[in-house]
Structure 1
Amino acid sequence: MLEIFDTAHVDPSGLFLATSPWPMVAIVSSYLIFVLKGRTFMEKRKAYDLRSVLKVYNLIQILYNASLFVTVVSYLIGYKNYNLSCMRIVPLNHPDKKLDRMICYAYYVNKYIDLLDTVFIVLRKNNKQITILHLVHHLYMPITGYFIIRFIGFGGHLLVMGVLNVFVHVIMYSYYYAAAQSSTKNKLIWWKQYITILQMLQFVIICGHSVWTLMQPKCDASRPLIYMTFSMSIVMFSMFTNFYIHAYILPKNRKPVKSD
């Protein structure tokens, strides 16, 4: 089974986390072990006060994702290497391939940085936030990201998902940064519901764009990448919808029980 990794890289860039699968496996495995053992470790310990750390972390995430968003939009509009109806991967000998590769690589690396979200949750003992949705979302991105880069390549259809995702993350981490200010936390609680709606909307757009691409008879964009993106958007939309229903709709419909 592991013989598949003996095949030549589609894009032999040699970038860290994009060559051998073992660094990805090591990071993901360490993440899972920390989630499982970290809660036990913290069980009899006082939660860490990480407000200052989180302010810096959230600010870095805002700047990182905002920079990526501006770069991707500028690249798609200014360089005109892509047609949105058929996002073919730019060939390796294309003069803009280096920029194309580094944009996607920066997005891929950020999916590993996102794992710190869960680390901070464990250290702050906010274990209710570690849901199946949270874990699936955080694990899916670096794992599938590696396989896409390894066997399909950088760029192409992935850029549509990336530009939507970094935009959502700018909004999401802006909320986290603002919420870290104790004076504004309660005033901004209403943001959470609309951020969830925005997350659901991105998956609807990704799904729609995938279907639109598949309907183009002469499009030779990577079919495996399109099918993977389409499937991912369906699964994630379903999970976020389930979360939204249980977090925001069902609580409103529950009638208070009268005490005798």
Structure 2
Amino acid sequence: MDSNVFEIFYRAPADPVLAKNMPMTASHWPVSLLLVGYLLFVLKIGRIFMEKRKPYNLKNIILVYNICQMIYNAAMFSYAVHFIFVNTTYDLLCMESLPHEHPFKDTERWLTYIYFLNKVIDLLDTVFFVLRKSSKQITVLHVYHHVLMVSAMHWVLRLYGVGGQYMMMGLFNTFVHTVMYFYYFISAMYPELKSSLWWKKYITRIQMGQFILLFMQAAFVLLFNPTCQFPIFLQYLQLSQSSVMIVMFGNFYYHAYIKPKHQKQQ
């Protein structure tokens, strides 16, 4: 393996405060092992474990989980709106990570870190699916999205630092997840209403909308503000992964809502 790869893999986090004070960011090992364990459980071990067992009744646990996730994401969204737009912390045409001496640097660190922790907590979604034997919900899109969010967040934190342009991703994503977990809470609390919750499909539209906006943000900076110091690799990462997610969510939306409607009309 190239020595430069070793250097990237083992280098200290770009922000020294992360290495000193915040668990799961000082080393690559906790997140790497967590994701390996997640994939093994979701794709193999969990299915073997549940093969001869009845689905677990996790209604109360899931209700608590959903309401906590809704509050968690709503709080992050509200604070991010204040941080970005009320405090006008960033130049919206070029959102770079704040310098270490900036008065809002600690706020930027903690907002980024608690968002990262929330992506780790999101992995429980799939664990619940396995234990409830809801295998149809464990799609390629679902697993890919969860693994991507945790691994990408971790490596961006380690190699680039906190905040910056990806703060806008957190803003959009926390709004989407606030709505999504509210839907999950209502449908778990009142399962008889699940089929009548007409706005479910609009959650997928909002999810696609966030990736379209993120694609446009990166494209704008690359085309019209090339002097921006937000790393070009991360710009292209944002472009590529936004494109992938638009296609994957678009495919899900087509098969879940458009195709069945056309089949009924035939």
Question: Does TM, normalized by the shorter one, top 0.5?
Answer: yes
Aligned residue in 2 for 1:204:
212
Query: Partners in 1 of 2:11 and 2:195 — Cα distance?
Result: 53
TM-score where L is the length of structure 1? 0.94
Query: Partners in 1 of 2:95 and 2:232 — Cα distance?
Result: 11
Aligned residue in 2 for 1:22:
29
Query: Partners in 1 of 2:257 and 2:155 — Cα distance?
Result: 35
Cα distance, 1:217 vs. partner? 3.7
CA-to-partner distance for each residue in 1:213-235, whole Å, 9 max, x for gaps?
22214322222222211111111
- Equivalenced residues, count: 256
Query: Partners in 2 of 1:217 and 1:144 — Cα distance?
Result: 23
From 94, 114, 128, the equivalent of 2:136 is 128
Matched, 1:99 2:103: no
Matched, 1:64 2:72: yes
From 151, 176, 194, the equivalent of 1:185 is 194
Q: Which amino acid aligns with 1:138?
A: H
Cα distance, 1:184 vs. partner? 2.8
Query: Partners in 1 of 2:108 and 2:28 — Cα distance?
Result: 22
Alignment CA distance shift 1:124-1:8 (3 Å): closer
Partner secondary structure for residue 230 of structure 2:
coil
Asked whether the equivalents of residues 206 and 229 of structure 1 are also in contact (C-alpha less than 8 Å), the reply is yes
Query: Partners in 2 of 1:74 and 1:16 — Cα distance?
Result: 26
Give the 5 Å matches for 1:214-229.
Answer: 214=222, 215-229=224-238
Higher helix share: 2
Give the 5 Å matches for 1:17-166.
Answer: 17-35=24-42, 36-166=44-174
Partner secondary structure for residue 180 of structure 1:
helix
Alignment CA distance shift 1:104-1:47 (3 Å): same
From 234, 245, 253, the equivalent of 1:244 is 253
- In percent, how many aligned pairs have the same letter? 45
Asked whether the equivalents of residues 89 and 222 of structure 1 are also in contact (C-alpha less than 8 Å), the reply is no
Aligned residue in 2 for 1:4:
8
5+ residue gaps, structure 1, are none
**Deviates most, 206-215 or 220-229:** 220-229
Q: Which amino acid aligns with 1:252?
A: K
Alignment CA distance shift 1:185-1:94 (3 Å): same
CA-to-partner distance for each residue in 1:184-239, whole Å, 9 max, x for gaps?
32321x22211111100110011011111222143222222222111111111110
Q: Which amino acid aligns with 2:205?
A: I
Q: Which amino acid aligns with 2:97?
A: I
Partner secondary structure for residue 246 of structure 1:
helix
Q: Which amino acid aligns with 1:198?
A: I
RMSD: 1.5
Cα distance, 1:77 vs. partner? 1.9
Aligned residue in 2 for 1:235:
244
Asked whether the equivalents of residues 81 and 171 of structure 2 are also in contact (C-alpha less than 8 Å), the reply is yes
Asked whether the equivalents of residues 97 and 164 of structure 2 are also in contact (C-alpha less than 8 Å), the reply is yes
Query: Partners in 1 of 2:147 and 2:226 — Cα distance?
Result: 34
Query: Partners in 2 of 1:58 and 1:23 — Cα distance?
Result: 25
Q: Which amino acid aligns with 2:7?
A: E
Query: Partners in 2 of 1:70 and 1:137 — Cα distance?
Result: 24
5+ residue gaps, structure 2, are none
